Amino acid sequence: MKWIIAFTLLVAYSIQVHVTMLNTGVQENAYERFTYACEIASHDASLDVTPNSVSDGFPIFNQTEATATFDQDLAENMRLNPNTLAPLPGTLYQQPVQILLEQFFDYSNTSFPYHYTNLTYGIDVTLNGPAIVYVVQAQIPSIEPGVSGFSKTWSVVQAYPDSP
């Protein structure tokens, strides 16, 4: 009888360990997808500058296009609705992604080098040329019963590619 009880406890423990490992893998995948999506979307948004400003040598962001590009790329890479940033069916995420901060620094509003500090989000960087700052928050899900997901805030500072 003691062997049956020991075997049952061992099986239960083994199942719990495997479920925990699976949950950790899902959360790591969701977190990596979130961070890479933010990096890709911010890079693509940083390419949206007005053509005349580039030929003048002082790039100025087309803020409307950059915002639309960021939202579209983020939605494509995370399988979200591009208008609401709410998760589509079959995606890892269960809550809408929130863009907490979007700031543009270019020759229309900044002289470079510019030291940017945002204590709220822990950003402290020197900008040597035009750049966009994004702070995005996503809820990283959990598939393990009794374990809640966690909220992750990701900040990214993306410079215009031809900046010094």
Lowest mean pLDDT: which of 19-28, 60-69, 153-162?
19-28
Label residue 94 left, alpha or beta by phi (over 0 means left) and psi (-120 to 50 means alpha): alpha
Could you report the per-residue pLDDT of 91-143, keeping only the tens digit for each?
888 899 999 999 999 999 999 999 999 999 999 999 999 999 999 999 998 88
Residue 155 near residue 122, CB atoms below 8 Å: yes
Residue owning tokens 């693509």: 44
Query: Domain residues of the chain, as ranges?
Result: 2-159
Burial class (CB in 10 A: 0-12, 13-18, 19+), 18: exposed
**d(C-alpha 10, C-alpha 5), whole Å:** 9
Tokens of 150: 């966690």
Q: Between residues 30 and 125, which one has the greater pLDDT?
A: 125
Burial 26-60 (b: 16+ CB within 10 A, else e): bbeebbebbeebbbbbbbbbbbbbbeebeeeeebb
